[in-house]
Structures are given as structure tokens and as C-alpha cells.
Amino acid sequence: MRYRIKRHGVLWLLLFLLIAAVVLLERTASRQIQTSGNYMENLWFVVSNSASEQRIDCFTDEMEQISYLFLPSYANPDKVKISFAGAYRIVFAGEGKEISLKDGESIGALTCGGKYQMRFCDRKGREMARQDMVIMRSANLPAAFLETASGSMEMLDADKNHEEKGSIVLLDVDGDLVCVDKLDRISGRGNSTWAHPKKSYGIRLGEKADLFGMGSADKWVLLSNVEDSAYIRNKITYEMAIAAGMEGSPESQYIDLYINHTYHGMYQLCEKVEIDGERVPIADLEAENRRLNKEIEKCGHFETEKRKGTALFREPGDLTGGYLLERDVPEKYREEVSGFITDSLGDLYTIKEPVHASEAEVDYISGFVNNMEKAIVSEDGVNPETGMRYTDYIDLHSFAQKYILEELTKNNGAGATSSFFYKPEDAVSTKLFAGPVWDYDKAYASITGLNETTEDLCYLTLRDSNPTTLFWRLNKHPEFREAVSSCYGEFFSDYMQEIVDEKIEEYASEISSSVAMDQIRWKSADDAPLDYDYEIEKIKDFLLARKAFLDEVWTEQKEVCTVTFVSDGEHYVSVIAGRPLQKMPGSEPGTVSGDWMFDGWYTEDGKLFDGTQPVTEDITLYSKGHDV
């Protein structure tokens, strides 16, 4: 009897241990199921058609612990095959059914837009891990599959000056091949945008190619549009410039970009602003400098207080062109090889091409721009030293067009950076041209302050620091104002209405599916959900109000009065006579910055001007504050 009790005790102990083991195994299995990283690393999908076969890995949102399969628009789910290792089968549970797939089988039974729980199972059907997954597919857009030589973006994203080689496969919306090539270079690009996780890139193909009818070239830009919640500000502006006939305006195409097999977001594939027969079609002095100086990188560098460039051994015979200039800010100017600072306005110009400008070339183009400035800043528009009018130096039509486009979009960077000009060789033209246009993600009320006002002129002085006053000076001359009114009435006024009525909806509809994918791919914990309809309507409302005001000023020729704001520099805001300012520049009075409090703007006789007063004459206001 005692033995039987003892034996029963042992059995109960064994049963207890067995139950404990089962519980432990379940908990272990549960931990395995919740951490399915090893299984996800060995899972991918193969998208096939007659033209190409591309591998696509899932993207996992670590915050929500959901994986996403982002498919290109041309993908037919029946021809997308699953590939995995470490499991015998994967069971997809969702939408009231379960679908079991083995390695190499089609995912045609799965629904795009559907959410599934993936269960990784062994041969006996036992669940080893699980992971939630959503399948999304683009629509209307081509797809680019880019691979870096290293198989990683870590080095490239660490510094925009880093570069490496790679390869690219570009397919149109139907999945037909557009381009297959090696990439001589992949590198980062951008200034404020470079601080964002989603970055812009520049690529150089091994051979020139005509991508989507944009002309044959080897250098292309992949714009992230990361600072534009509507994703269309650059697009509508580039298309406006093209429609206006502005030389060198970049053509572009939205694409879905995959890098190293993973969806990287929606990008805008753009022509690069450069001297080229298909872009800015003027003489290529850089090519000539390189022809004459075989090891140009070994030539010395020269730099004075206002000029810098390359000490070439041999000079081209014709120094009159072509030159591609960018009016820039100090931090960017310092990074460039060649450039100069003007005498009259102190504007900084980088010489984008020729990159390796010789001393004689820098002397020529800086002398030309200095003479142009002297004519523009003079009251009668005549350079007192040469006797030439400002219209002898500039192509009036292109300058008027550039000013209109920058002013109507209220582009924050206009007149400060990304502001291009080009000078052809004299045999083509003896004048400087304004353009091409570039960089409008901070336009159309994208940021607060004067950028979002619609009933004023800002003369390209919106930026807080380093704006040029060149276009303010140009507006002093009647011929320029007449050219602006004429160009605006002949094209821009009607086109603004066309943008609102047709273009915005056209672009928004084209990219809506990819916007949803991009938002998931790049969202952060601090991001509020995107109200895309609101972002689109915001641009429409801005343009309609802006058009109404510009019609009054440039078509009806209503009188405007200018308020000059004097702080570190001068900024100008003009309104229709008798109306108040919508906003004042800078901080609100009472704002503390460091140990200094801004008191407000004051007139010359010491009266506070708060912006509510109607402006009936030109006035100058001064910034005042005090230490705290």
C-alpha cells in the first residue's frame, strides 16, 4: 500500500513536470512566434513577366510589427512567387480563409490590400513563428530596381559626398524594359532634405539613355520630395515651366523605387540641370577644359577674396560660353570648386559648369555679371562704366518668366539657392539667361509665414538669410515690369487656372496608390496621419487666391506700395495700395531668442507698426529688440 502511494506520488510529480514542460514549450513557442525575424530574413517574393524577373523583400514596420509587401504596378499576383527557407509551408490567414503556400508557389490567391497573419509551419503543420503582413500594389507608375555594389545603403546615406557603383533595371507601367545598365555612380544630393531618412540621389548610367522620352543623357536625379506633403509641388512647377517654353526646364516621371530588393518609396525621376544638348544646349566648356588638360584634377586651385577656380595649364580659345551659374548661399558656395562674389550686391555665384573654371574663365563670367549688376542697380538702368543698358546684358524675356514663376509660387529658396542662370557662347547670344527652374518643395504655402500669404509681392526676398535683391532692383525699371505683365497675361494667368482645374487632380490621381505606400515606408513615431485631400486642396486654394491678386497687379495694373523691412539685411513686401499686410516677416513681438527679445517693427519716427494698418505709401520699418 505504501509502495502504491509512493508510486502514485511519483506519477503525480511526473505529470506536474510534464505540464510545466508543455507550458514552458508553449511560452518558448510564443516567444518564437512573436520574434519571427529569422523567418522574415529568409522570405522574399519574385515578380516575373516576359521582360524581367525581380526579387522583392518585405519591409517591416518595427513600431507596429507589421510587414508589408509593396508590389509594382505591373505585378500580376498570379505571376508573383513566394520564396522562403526555414519552414515547410506558410499559411496566410485572413479575410475569413486560410491559404497554404509552399516555396516557389504563386501568391495569386492572396488579395492586394488584404491583411494576413502569416504562420510559418513545419512538415507536421506545427506553427514555428507568425507575422502579420499587408500586401499593397502601386498603380500607374513605372518601377526602378536599383542595386548598390555593396548591397547596402549604409555608406551612401552616411554622407552625400560618398558614392559607389551599382546597377539599374527600369520598367514602364506595363512591365516592359526601359533601361538595363550598370551605374557608374550613385550618390546623395540635397541640402535640408538630406537630414531626412528618405533621401534624394543622383545616378550616372554607364551609357546615355532616353528615359521615358526625356532625351538621351547619362546623369539623372531621384527626387525624394520628402518635404512636400502633397508630392506634386516640383512636378506642377516643372511642367508649368516646360509649357511656358522656359529653356532647360527639367522633364520628370514619377516612379516606384526599389533599392537592394526593398521598396524605397515613390520618387520623381528628373533630368539633371546641366549643360547638354538635351538639357541646357550651350557650349560645354568643361569638356573643352578636360580635352586641353588631360589630368585636370591634378591642376592647382586658386582662390582670392571674391574668385576661385582651377589653375589650368591650357585655356580654350573661346571663353565667352557656355557657363551654368547658381546663385547660392555661403555654406554651399564654400563646397564648390569654382565661383565668384559680385561687387554691387555681394551675391555668391557658384560656377556649376565648367566645374573646373580657369582663372581667365572666372574673370570673364564674373566681369560680365558684375557689369550686368552695375547696370541693374543704377537708377537709369545704364552701367556708368560701359554705357550699356541692363537689357544689353540680360535676356529680358527669360528673366521676366523666372521672376513670375518664383513669385507666383512663393518659393522660399528663390533668389537664395537653386537659382540658375546660363550664358551661351557669344556666337549664340551675348546675353545672360535666367533658368532652368529647380527645387519647389518649399513653395505653394508649404511653410508658414510670408510663404503662405497670397496678396503681396516679395521680389524673391522670402528667405530669412542671404536673399538676393536683384529682382527687386529689376522691378524698378519700367521695361522689366512691362515684360512681367506681358508674360503673365500671355501665359501664366490662364495656366494657373488650368493647374487648379486639371493638372493637380491629374497628378494626384496618378500617384495616390504610391503615396499610400510611401507614407507607410517612411512614417515615424512622431508623424501624424497624412490628410492627402487636405494637402491637395491647400495648393488649389493658394493658387486661386494668388492668381486673383496677381491679376490685379500685373493685368489690371493696380498701384502697389512697398514696405521695406530692415534687419540683418533688407526684405521687401508690396501690397495693393490701401490694403494691410497679411503677415509680417520674422518672429512675433515678444519672442525670445537666446538672450534677446524681439519688440517688433518700427517706423523711422519710432512708431510701432503691427501690420494691421492699411499701407498707403512706401514705408521703411526697422527691427527693434532688447536684451533679456
Other residues' Cβ atoms within 10 Å of the Cβ of residue 214? 18
Distances (CA, A) of 410 to 173, 458, 459, 612: 34, 8, 9, 22
pLDDT higher than threshold 50 for residue 27: no
DSSP 617: S
Task: Name the packing angle between helices 396-409 and 532-550 (round to 10°).
Answer: 130
Residues of the chain with CATH 2.60.40.4270: 499-627
Residue 157 near residue 199 (C-beta atoms within 8 A)? yes
Lowest mean pLDDT among 14-23, 75-84, 449-458, 506-515: 14-23
Nearest to 561 by CA among 622, 617, 620: 617
Helices assigned H by DSSP within 100-188: 154-158
Which of 12-16, 414-418, 606-610 bottoms out in mean pLDDT, i.e. has the lowest? Answer: 12-16
H or E stretch at 200:
strand 200-210
Under 8 Å between Cβ of 618 and 604: no
Q: pLDDT band for 1, please (50, 70, 90 cuts).
A: very low
Residue 15 has pLDDT above 80, yes or no: no
pLDDT digits (tens, 9 = 90+) for 278-307: 999 999 999 999 999 999 989 999 999 999
pLDDT digit string, tens, across residues 424-482: 999 999 999 999 999 999 999 999 889 999 999 999 999 888 899 999 999 999 999 99
Yes or no: say if 591 and 611 are a contact pair by the CB < 8 Å rule: no
- The CA distances from residue 59 to 133, 199, 224, 471, 522, in Å, are 9, 17, 18, 48, 11
Residue 5 has pLDDT above 70, yes or no: no
Q: How confident is the model at residue 562 (pLDDT cuts 50, 70, 90)?
A: very high
Taking 70 as the threshold, does the pLDDT of residue 12 lie above it?
Answer: no
Q: How far apart are CA 426 and CA 428, in angstroms?
A: 5
H-helix or E-strand containing 326? strand 323-328
pLDDT above 90 covers a percentage of the chain that reads: 86
Q: Is 568 helix (H, G, I), strand (E, B) or coil?
A: coil
Q: Which CATH number fits domain 499-627: 2.60.40.4270, 3.40.20.10, 3.90.228.20, 1.10.760.10?
A: 2.60.40.4270
Each residue's pLDDT tens digit, 239-275 = 999 999 999 999 999 999 999 999 999 999 999 999 9
Q: Is 197 left (phi over 0), alpha (psi -120 to 50) or beta?
A: alpha
pTM of the entire structure? 0.92
Q: What are phi and psi of 38, to 5 degrees?
A: -60, -40
Q: What is the mean pLDDT of residues 611-618?
A: 95
Instruction: 469-472: list long-range contacts, CB under 8 Å, 24+ apart.
Output: 469/345, 469/570, 469/572, 470/327, 470/345, 470/347, 470/373, 470/376, 470/415, 471/403, 471/406, 471/415, 472/572
C-alpha cell at 288: 573643352
HSE of 181, CA atoms in CB hemisphere, 13 A: 20
What is the rounded distance in angstroms from the CA atom of residue 394 to the CA atom of residue 290? 29
The pLDDT tens digits for 362-419 are: 999 999 999 999 999 999 999 999 999 999 999 999 999 999 999 999 999 999 999 9
Q: What is the DSSP string of 67-104?
A: EEEEE-TT--GGGEEEEE-S-SEEEEEETTEEEEE-TT
Give the three-class secondary structure for 498: helix
Q: Which helix (H) or strand (E) holds 353?
A: strand 348-353
Tens digits of residue pLDDT in 484-531: 999 999 999 999 999 999 999 999 999 999 999 999 999 886 778 899
Cβ atoms within 10 A of the Cβ of 534, count? 10
Q: What is the dihedral of CA 160, 165, 171, 176, to 10 degrees?
A: 170
Could you report the per-residue pLDDT of 190-222, keeping only the tens digit for each?
A: 888 899 999 999 999 999 999 999 999 999 999
Mean pLDDT of the chain: 93
Phi, psi of 482 (to 5 degrees): -65, -40
- Name the DSSP letter for residue 449: S
The pLDDT of residue 23 is above 90: no
DSSP 389: B
Q: d(Cα 38, Cα 586) in Å, to the nearest integer?
A: 53
The helix/strand/coil state of 602 is strand
Confidence of residue 612 (pLDDT cuts 50, 70, 90): very high
Phi, psi of 168 (to 5 degrees): -145, 140
